[in-house]
A and B are shown apart, each in its own frame.
Chain A
Amino acid sequence: MKQVVFISGKGGTGKSTVVASLSRMVLDKMLVDCDVDAPNLHLLVEGERLLETDYFGVRQAMIDPLLCSQCGLCRQTCRFGAIGEDFAVEPMVCEGCGACLLVCPQEAISLRQVKTGQTYVDSTELGTFSHALLDIGAEGSGKLVTEVKKNLEEYKKDEAWVLVDGSPGIGCVVIASITGADAVVAVCEPTLSGKSDLARLLQVAAHFGIPAFVCVNKYDLNSGITKEIEDYCLKTDVPVIGRLQYEPGIVKALQSFQTPVEAGLTHITDEIGRIWSALALALDTEKKDEGGIA
């Protein structure tokens, strides 16, 4: 089983569109949405719920007012300023580190688990699909991502692939998403910001030693920058495995909850098919059938 994570650095470059299209094209796979604070793949991949659980991702200090002698040691120790004048803990500020509990002479402080999100596993016609939703403004999104990937384990049926829709950025969520992956595919766009963000993202993949591939979306929007991106990839030894053209029809299709596959945008889906074949070939799968495409 090979795990491929589609990421982008910059947001809105077309990750979910590519993953949703592949979900209709690649056989024998599982699906994951790791963009837990703004998930979108579930809008295009529906099924029957197998699992729905609350996720307790962080801890928070709680002071028992009956035991507290208001000595103030906890407040002096807390580096996050989470303990207020009235010896109540500010929930959005507390990191749950427990330093306060170590210094409290009254043993008045305990850590309690706090729910930070919800995880879901769905059975769909396209394969088992694991996703989640972080509670609004919650911490611990990286840990939730790890949980979403872990949830899939139980439902494995010897599928050949796990396709993972990633999140923008290069920080904790992305690091959690690409941990354990066999490859990342960076979906980028030929803009100055897209180029800058891609460079940082590829450095992160290299930092963690994960093979990276690049796909340029809307390549014809600025062929000069597409060329610069491809030159950069050549120089850094990252294969460019595809180019998708600027197609307003994709947005139109999305507005009716369709991927390019249902919308019949064959010039797009043919290229996505080629991208997949190139990737499968590069990852040298045991099944020599170009990745088992439908």
Chain B
Amino acid sequence: MRIAVLSGKGGTGKTTVSAGLAAAIGKCQYIDCDVEEPNGALFLHPQIASVSPVEVTVPVVDASKCNSCGRCAGVCQFHAISVVKRKVLMFHELCHHCGACSIACPQNAISETNREIGVVESDEAALFIQGRLHIGEPITIPIIQELKLRMRDDVPAILDCSPGASCTVVQTITGCDYCILVTEPTPFGLHDLKIAVALVRRMDIPFGVVINKAMDGNERMQQYCYDQEITVLMEIPFSRKIAKNYSRGILPVQDCREWQDRFVSLYKAIEGGAAS
């Protein structure tokens, strides 16, 4: 069972739900795919046993062979190369590692080298893995791909997504059996939930919604889910106590037996197919 937790809007409680689920059900794999701002470790306290670099291949030019013809810059779709004053400038952060420039070079002057854009960190048993993008790097997809290669088949996997609904989230939820959409009952939360719903529907992945920070005034959210025939899996109340515990790195499941039971039931409902 592979369950991805996403939200559209940031800060709605993806990590509260995904790390909570992982903590509640015990033997499972938690994968933090929010590689720009990974937070799961702050709640799950893994013992990181290995750190592996995530590398991409980028072009390098052999100046002794290059005749500054500019073909490489001409074919690069990502503006990662420019030729200025007979000199080839490479902007490696923009490179998509496609190899088009070396194919295009008539002088065979372009070769490739590895460049690190981030790391993947794992505990001994690979039950906790997380990616971490290096500062100043824009491209996250190769790190998410590396995380997904390490997904285990023998235990349930819980994937914590990044916010939004762009290619990063698509990459994360591809191949998942179920998505949990975490939202909050504000116009912002509802607006972004609709985007997330459209995404999982298009990708044809069964899903349900967790309403976090639930309070009076939820009706619009409830009504939307009812109209759209979306299962509301759980409501977590708006509470200063939960917020305060969260600030210290304590999840509802770690603080209270009742939440532990509720998250276990949530997992069972998803696993049993009752939640789609």
Contact = CB atoms under 8 A, between A and B. Distances in A.
Contact of A12 (B11, B104, B164, B248): B11
Nearest to B174: A92
Which DSSP category, helix, strand, loop or mixed, fits chain B's interface? Answer: loop
A25 interface: no
A16 to B, nearest CB: 7
B192 interface: yes
B36 A169 contact: yes
B46 interface: no
A170 B167 contact: no
Interface in B90-114: 96-100, 103-104
Contact of A97 (B11, B77, B243): B77
B192 to A, nearest CB: 4
Contact of B203 (A137, A168, A222, A252): A137
Interface in B187-241: 187-188, 191-192, 195, 198-199, 202-203, 213, 215, 217, 220, 238, 240
A173 B9 CA distance: 14
Interface stretch (A98-106, A122-130, A148-156, A232-240): A98-106
B15 interface: yes
Contacts of A193: 15, 37, 39, 42, 249
B163 interface: yes
A3 B84 CA distance: 30
Contact of B166 (A37, A102, A174, A221): A37
Interface stretch (B62-70, B129-137, B263-271): B129-137
A252 to B, nearest CB: 7
Contacts of B246: 191
A293 interface: no
A172 B141 CA distance: 11
Nearest to A103: B103
B170 interface: yes
Q: Which one of B7, B75, B135, B199 has the greatest number of beta carbons of chain A within 10 Å?
A: B135
B156 interface: no
A224 to B, nearest CB: 9
Q: Which one of A35, A196, A251 has the greatest number of beta carbons of chain B within 10 Å?
A: A251
Contacts of A23: none
Interface string A66-95: 000000000001011000000000001001
Contacts of B42: 192-193, 196
B243 A9 contact: no
B138 A175 contact: yes
Nearest to A253: B186
Nearest to B246: A191
Given A11-B11, A40-B188, A139-B166, A246 B37 contact: no
Contacts of A294: none
Contact of B163 (A38, A176, A191, A218): A38
Given A12-B10, A203-B135, A221 B243 contact: yes
A243 to B, nearest CB: 15
Contacts of A252: 217
B179 interface: no
Given A11-B163, A97-B98, A222-B244, A102 B103 contact: yes
A77 B191 contact: no
A255 interface: yes
A197 B195 contact: no
B162 interface: yes
Interface in A137-194: 137-139, 141-142, 167-176, 189-194
Given A37-B165, A38-B192, A248-B238, A255 B186 contact: yes
B99 A79 contact: yes
B103 A171 contact: no
A173 B168 CA distance: 11
A225 interface: yes
Given A10-B37, A98-B75, A136-B202, A191 B139 contact: no
Q: Which one of A11, A43, A190 has the greatest number of beta carbons of chain B within 10 Å?
A: A11
A-B pairs with lowest CB-CB distance, top 9 = A11-B10, A12-B11, A97-B98, A172-B138, A168-B10, A169-B36, A37-B164, A11-B11, A193-B39
19 contacts: A10-B10, A38-B165, A38-B191, A102-B100, A102-B103, A137-B203, A168-B36, A169-B37, A169-B162, A170-B135, A171-B140, A171-B168, A173-B164, A175-B136, A193-B37, A200-B36, A225-B248, A252-B217, A255-B220
Interface of B: 7-12, 15, 36-37, 39, 42, 75, 77-78, 96-100, 103-104, 133, 135-140, 162-170, 184-188, 191-192, 195, 198-199, 202-203, 213, 215, 217, 220, 238, 240, 243-244, 246-249
Given A169-B37, A190-B247, 10 more contacts: A11-B10, A12-B12, A37-B165, A40-B192, A77-B103, A189-B247, A192-B39, A193-B42, A207-B136, A257-B187
